[in-house]
Amino acid sequence: MTLLLHTLSWPLLLAGAAFCIIGGIGLFRLPDFYTRIHAAGITDTLGAALILIGLALQAEELLVVIKLALVLAFLFFSSPACTHALARAAFSHGLRPLLQDQCFDESFASDYVNWVNEETEEEPTSAS
């Protein structure tokens, strides 16, 4: 049983390691901040999850498994919050995403410019 779990854990650990590095590479291959966030998302979700699950399969005590699960759960709750906070702060500071010309949907296209202006004019110090 232990042997089986150990053999199962290695592919997970290696895949997790691979996804981490791919995310790291993505930080350099993608053109702007908003696209790089997606690369960081890879390492935060699948990379972290696979490594932690792989470790959990090698754990000898139940308590260790529970702690790993809690670390994973916390990562899954906090990483979108962090990412969203980052993206929103960047946007309201006037950093605009590079867009491939008119690729957002038509109903939003006309509103986009207005929306951008509204967002930028917002007082940065205002409590929100």
Partner 1 sequence: MKHASGLAITLFVAWLLWSGHTAILLVTLGAGSSLLVVWLLHHLGILDPQGQPLHLLLDIARYLPWLLREVVRSNLDVARRILSRDPPISPCVTRIKAMQKTPLGQVIFANSITLTPGTLSLRVRDGYVVVHALTREAGEALQDGEMNRRVLRLEGETP
Partner 2 sequence: MMAIPLIAILVTMMLALTRALLGPTVFDRMLAANMFSTKTILFIAVIGFLTGRPAFLDLALLYALLNFVGVVAILKFVRVSGSDLSELSVDRTWEQST
Q: Which residues bind partner 1 (CB under 8 A)?
A: 19, 22-23, 25-26, 29-30, 32, 34-35, 37-39, 41-42, 45-46, 63, 66-67, 70, 76-77, 79-81, 83-84, 87-88, 91, 97-100, 103-105, 107-108, 111-112, 115, 119
Rounded least distance, CB 58 to partner 1, Å: 19
- For residue 39 the two structure tokens come to 């690369």
Nearer CB in complex with partner 1: 3/108: 108
Rounded least distance, CB 62 to partner 2, Å: 11
Nearer CB in complex with partner 1: 13/87: 87
Please check whether residue 2 is in contact with residue 60, taking contact to mean a CB–CB distance below 8 angstroms: no
Which of 44, 125, 126 lies closest to 80, judged by CA?
Answer: 44
Among partner 2, partner 1, none, the one that 11 touches (CB under a kind-dependent 5 to 8 A) is none
Among partner 2, partner 1, none, the one that 80 touches (CB under a kind-dependent 5 to 8 A) is partner 1
C-alpha–C-alpha distance, residues 80 and 88, integer Å: 12
Output the CA–CA distances (angstroms, integers) from residue 92 to 17, 117, 128, in the order listed.
34, 9, 12
Rounded least distance, CB 106 to partner 2, Å: 19
Please check whether residue 43 is in contact with residue 27, taking contact to mean a CB–CB distance below 8 angstroms: no
Query: How many Å separate Cα 38 from the centre of its chain?
Result: 6
